[in-house]
Amino acid sequence: MSTSQDGKRSTAKKPRPRRRARHSLSREMILEAAETIAVRDGLDGLTFQALGKELEAHPTSIYRHFRDKDELVLELIDSLRAGSYGGQLEATDSWREDLRVMARHIHDHYLRYPQFALQMAARTTRRPAEFKNVEFALDALVRAGLPPEEATSTMRVFGNVIRALSSMESGLHALDDNTRRGDALAWEVEYRSLSPEAYPRIASMSDHLTSIGDPHVFDQAVEMLLDAVETRVAVLSASTS
C-alpha cells in the first residue's frame, strides 16, 4: 500500500503520476488552490493551467466541478467574503461607533483582496454574512433614531458608499506601479503648476491637495455620512417635540 501506489504520486520528480484517484478533487480543494494562486499571482494568474499545476491535476479536470471560469470566480469571491467578514460584529451602546467599526471591517476586507474588489462591490451574495451585516446596520440606524423608511434607505446609502469607496481604493492598489506612481505624482506636481489665472482656487490651495488614493478619504466619508445621520435625527426630534 505504501510502496507502489504512494510512491507513484509523492516522489513524482517531474512526470505526471499517471492519474489522480477517483474522488481526490472537490470544489473546496479547487477553491482553496484558486485562492492561493489569486493571492500570490493576482487574478490574471488564475488560469486553468495554473490551477492544474497547483492541484497536480489536469487543467481540464476542473470542468468536472465548475461549469466555467466565471462560476469558479464568483464562488471564490463568496467564499472569501464569508471567511473574511464573518460574524464578529457586536452592538455597543454607541450606534456611531458600531457603524464605524462595520465600515472599517468591510473596508479592510476589500483591501485584502485588491484583485477581486472591482467585481465584489456590485454583487449581492445572499448569504448569512451579508444578512448579518444588513441587520446590524439597520439596528444601529434605528437606535440612532431614524424611522424605518429612512433607516432602510440610509443603510443602503451607507453600505453602497462603503463598498464603492473601498472597491475604488482597492482597485487603485491593483494598478501596476508605474501607473499608480504617475497618477499620484500628478497631484503633487502638475496641479501645483497650473496657472493661477485659469485656476485660482487650485493655485491657492494646491498645498493641501492630496492624491486620489489618500486613505484618509474613506474615514472622512464615513464621518460625514454619520454626521448627516445625526443632523437628520436632530431635525426630526425637534419637529416632533
Partner DNA sequence: GAAGCAAGTCATCGCCATTGACTATAAGGT
Partner DNA sequence: ACCTTATAGTCAATGGCGATGACTTGCTTC
- Per CB under 8 A, the segment of 14-22, 48-56, 76-84, 204-212 that binds its own copies is 204-212
Interface pattern 27-66 for its own copies (x via CB under 8 A): ----------------------------------------
Q: Which of the choices DNA, its own copies, none does residue 94 contact, using the CB cut-off of 5 to 8 A by kind?
A: none
Q: Does 107 interact with its own copies (rule: CB under 8 A)?
A: no
Burial track 135-166 (b if 16+ CB lie within 10 A, e otherwise)? ebbbebbbebbbeeebbbebbeebbebbbebb
Q: Does 82 interact with its own copies (rule: CB under 8 A)?
A: no
113 to 132, contacts with its own copies by CB under 8 A?
118, 121-124, 126, 131-132
Q: Does 75 interact with its own copies (rule: CB under 8 A)?
A: no
Beta carbon of residue 11, minimum distance to its own copies (angstroms, whole number): 43
**Cα distances (angstroms) measured from residue 210 to each of 21, 96, 130, 161, 188:** 57, 27, 33, 20, 7
Among 90, 201, 239, 241, interactor with its own copies by CB under 8 A: 201
| Contacts by 100-105, CB closer than 8 A, 24 or more apart | 100/222, 100/226, 102/133, 102/136, 102/137, 102/140, 103/158, 103/162, 103/218, 103/222
> What's the grid cell of residue 214?
489618500
Separation CA 38–CA 115 (nearest Å):
8
SS (H, E, C) 146-161: CCHHHHHHHHHHHHHH
Q: Which of the choices its own copies, DNA, none does residue 194 contact, using the CB cut-off of 5 to 8 A by kind?
A: its own copies
Q: Does 133 interact with its own copies (rule: CB under 8 A)?
A: no
Separation CA 53–CA 136 (nearest Å):
42
Query: What residues line the site for its own copies (CB under 8 A)?
Result: 118, 121-124, 126, 131-132, 134-135, 138-139, 142, 148-149, 151-154, 156-157, 160-161, 163-165, 167-168, 171-172, 175, 179, 183, 186-187, 190-191, 194, 198-202, 204-205, 208-210, 212, 214, 216-217, 220-221, 224-225, 227-229, 231-232
